[in-house]
Amino acid sequence: SIAYVNGSFVPLSEAKVSVLDRGFLFADGIYEVAAVLDGKLIDNASHLARLERSVGEIALKLPETVARIIEIQKELITRNKLVSGLVYLQVTRGADTGRDFAFPKSGVKSSLVMFVSEKEIVDAPSAKTGVGVITVPDIRWERRDIKSVALLAQVLAKQAAAEAGAAEAWMLEDGFVTEGGSSSAFILTQDDVIVTRQNSNAILPGCTRKAVVALAEERQLRVEERPFTVAEAVAAKEAFITSASVFVQPVVTIDGKTVGTGKPGPMATRLREIYVDFAKATAS
Ligand code: PLP
């Protein structure tokens, strides 16, 4: 496939940055992932707004305007004839002349890398079967609201999930679920309240989470933004996760314990349909 690296479109296998790139040396960078359906970007304005917030929080300057970034996203979709999948973008504080921790003095341009991957999202088999999650301690830093490329804790969490045959790891702090390794965590209580943790520095403000909460509230569904425990999740009617790459995905086991009927529940199924309709109607 074709990737974008600092001004050039090149085959992905030839897409390279310097070993001095601060993303490589320090994970000094920010990323975003937006879904593509029917060749169009899903909820992209929300992803780019979060990108601008994330780079602002670490005083990183985007090397291109947001308008230009959108053009590049679209050009990548076209060049790769991408119908369904993801557009990944990452911006790092560039390659300096050495390995100084402090920011480069000046004249070092941030590095912008983008590539696409094909993925069936709407008709993903796991949406019909549901997935399992395991729980792990949340060992991340205190600014999880920043979409930083420093993902070692999530790499370890998701590897533990993979080894356990689970699709995702829910991370726990002080007895409560923060979020998934690469998704937001939701439950539906026995009295039909949709619960997901409130935004704070403890979690990434998920774009899909935000859209799903708004779509649910528009339909007069009850939503509570608060932390929940694993015990509450296991005892819930339903559980599900949201992200740009899975949309709304039912969770049917937690640490091997069955949630609800052990099959995708009506609420997760309905919210998935509502989100897919929203995605198609607002795609750009
Ligand atoms: N939480 C974390 C830690 C993530 O990495 C992600 C996405 O990768 C999400 C939540 C879901 O965010 P979004 O819905 O914007 O994809």
178 CB under 6 A from ligand 1?
no
Q: Which of 178, 243, 272, 275 should be mutated for ligand 1, with most atoms under 8 A from CB?
A: 243
Do the beta carbons of residue 195 and residue 221 sit within 8 Å? no
Domains of the chain, CATH where assigned: 2-118 (3.30.470.10), 126-282 (3.20.10.10)
> Distance, CA 200 to ligand 1 centroid (Å)?
14
Tens-digit pLDDT string for the chain (284 aa): 999 999 999 999 999 999 999 999 999 999 999 999 999 999 999 999 999 999 999 999 999 999 999 999 999 999 999 999 999 999 999 999 999 999 998 889 999 999 999 999 999 999 999 999 999 999 999 999 999 999 999 999 999 999 999 999 999 999 999 999 999 999 999 999 999 999 999 999 999 999 999 999 999 999 999 999 999 999 999 999 999 999 999 999 999 999 999 999 999 999 999 999 999 999 99
> Distance, CA 32 to ligand 1 centroid (Å)?
9
How large is the ipTM? 0.99
Residue type for 117, please?
S
> Distance, CA 143 to ligand 1 centroid (Å)?
14
Closest atom of ligand 1 to CA, residue 47: 15
